[in-house]
Amino acid sequence: MRGTVSIEYRDATTDGLDGGRSAVADDAVGLVSKADSTSDPTRRSPNVTVLGRAVVVRRERQTRTADGNGDMDTEETDEERAGFTRRQLLAGLAGSTASVATVGTLGYARLDPVDRLEVRVWVSERAAAYDGVAERVREYLEALLSYDYWELDLSVGGTVAVSREDGASVTSDGEWPATLASGAVGLGGVDPVADANLLVTDGQMTTAPTGFALPHVASVGGARHLAALPPFDELEGVRDGGAVHRIVPDERPVRTIQILLHEVGHALGLDHDHGVVFRDGERVVATPMLSSYAWDPDYEGDRSRCGREYPPADGRERALSLAFSTCARRGLESYDGTGL
């Protein structure tokens, strides 16, 4: 599930310039509004427009205008830029009404696709009780997010204390975004990265929603199922056009890892119609972004964003692919740090 959330900071001066330096939020007390669980970009809060690498654009712009002599000093090392991105990743969520105009303006900045994708995985304290869960998730993400168009920087952030284990509401109700926002301004023990910050909990996987995503933020339950996954190399491989799919049965333990990929895809800007369903012999196979919507009679889509029609299930065996579709991979190739 994908949505938006708005966080306002008290005593935060993210738009001001002081002595030629860009000011940063120094009080990370977040006021979290109710999440809007819609994937319609026209309904998203303006406070989530600038995230991730877009914050770097903001800093460059401030640096260019901050010099009283009119000089434009924009030199930054890659290390400084990356450090600023990590600290200020979610500063775009800190939009008070006074700063919405600036945030909105920067939302139209044109960025080039990234050549380095940063993904970090955390686990809740209860999820950490399952041996090897974080490393198993890392193994799968390493295999499924490695593409020629970027260098994948994948890491494990450690254990996080949360007040709930539900994999959806921990994000939709604002707790995980607020934790990341605090870390982004140097408070707390969480150090977010620029592109996707994933929390794995011990939440239930029987009743949807079991996961949730915002731009750059995702969470999912099912730690016990993820820890029990087989090694990635043992999965069946099937070719569909130019993509090699790793196929798993539509069963809860392995469905959990596809839901995790689904939410990470949302965090990077993918939508449901970036997914496809295809036939493989006597079975139909759904890719991560479409997932079980492929056999949901209430789902209204009949083809992917790239125009590929969805074949009917027709009582066939149902299976899941863990590989993003060619359509989704085209979308990811255009990811510029703010979305697709």
> What is the DSSP code (8-state) at residue 324?
P
**Residue at 213 is within a domain:** no
The torsion angles phi and psi of 40, rounded to 5 degrees, stand at -75, 115
Q: How many Å apart are CA 226 and CA 240, to the nearest integer?
A: 26
Q: Percent of the chain beyond pLDDT 70?
A: 68
Mean pLDDT value of segment 43-71: 34
Q: Give the closest residue to 339 by CA, choosing from 50, 141, 73.
A: 50
**Residue at 143 is within a domain:** no
DSSP run (H or E) holding 332: helix 326-333
Q: Is the dihedral of CA 217, 222, 224, 227 positive or negative?
A: negative
Burial class (CB in 10 A: 0-12, 13-18, 19+), 60: middle
Average pLDDT along the chain: 76
**Residue at 255 is within a domain:** no
Mean pLDDT value of segment 78-96: 44
Q: How many Å apart are CA 45 and CA 34, to the nearest integer?
A: 11
Mean pLDDT value of segment 43-49: 32
**Residue at 19 is within a domain:** yes
| Number of folded domains that form the chain | 1
Q: What does each C-alpha distance from 62 to 14, 16, 67, 231 come to in angstroms?
A: 11, 9, 9, 47
Q: Is the dihedral of CA 253, 123, 171, 112 positive or negative?
A: negative
**Residue at 31 is within a domain:** yes
**Residue at 120 is within a domain:** no
**Residue at 260 is within a domain:** no
**Residue at 33 is within a domain:** yes
Q: How confident is the model at residue 153 (pLDDT cuts 50, 70, 90)?
A: very high
Q: What are the pLDDT digits (tens) for 219-233?
A: 999 999 999 999 999
Q: Give the closest residue to 303 by CA, choosing from 47, 312, 156.
A: 312
Indicate the SS3 state at residue 215.
coil
Range of the domain at 31: 7-106
Is the confidence at residue 28, as pLDDT, over 50? no
- Residue 4's pLDDT is 55
